[in-house]
Amino acid sequence: MPDLSLGDEAAVNALRSAVMRLSRRLKHQRVDESLSPTEMSVLGTLARCGRATPGELARKEHVQPPSMTRIVALLEAKGLVRLEPHPDDRRQKVVTQTEQAEAMLEESRRRRNAFLATLTEQLDEDEWAKLRAAAPVLEKLAHL
């Protein structure tokens, strides 16, 4: 960890704690309780990035390829992804989300957005402006 001043260390600690608590609260807004957070994350990655091989998904999700193979098999059994032949490499498959997954993700986003909107109603205008300004920075941190 880099050398931080006491003030910066306190800020990092507060940020970590707040992000974790908010994340846990958002996870409770799930549409399908039968999906693990990792399965939901894979579906979200497919929604953002489009179709991908299991190896590409494993890299993006920071899991080992055998683990991703199991996750994809579970999602396929639930009708949320389909495996298609790779256009250039017959040895590989490409994972694509289904319409059922798209609808589920949309409902999940709607529910979580509504939850956050309800929380933000408790903020004053200055707090809300600061949070809007922080959103791109938090997004950047999430993808570093």
Q: Could you report the per-residue pLDDT of 91-144, keeping only the tens digit for each? A: 889 999 999 999 999 998 999 999 999 999 999 999 999 999 999 999 999 878
Give just the sign of the alpha carbon dihedral 21, 27, 29, 33: negative
Q: 124: domain CATH number?
A: 1.10.10.10
Q: What percent of the chain has pLDDT over 70?
A: 98
Residue 39 within a domain: yes
Name residue, tokens 């880099």: 2
Please indicate, yes or no, if residue 132 is contained in any of the structural domains: yes
pTM for the complete prediction?
Answer: 0.75
Q: Is residue 56 part of a domain?
A: yes
Q: Are 44 and 65 in contact (CB under 8 A)?
A: no
Residue ranges making up the domain that contains 88: 31-142
- The widest CA-to-CA distance across the chain, in whole angstroms, is 57
Going through the chain in order, the beta strands assigned E by DSSP cover 81-85, 93-97
Cβ atoms within 10 Å of 101's Cβ, excluding its own: 25
Sorted by sequence, the CB contacts under 8 Å of residue 93 that are 6+ apart come out as 53, 54, 83, 84, 85, 86
Identify whether 19 is part of a domain.
Answer: no
Query: What is the count of structural domains for the chain?
Result: 1
CB 65, CB 54: distance < 8 Å: yes
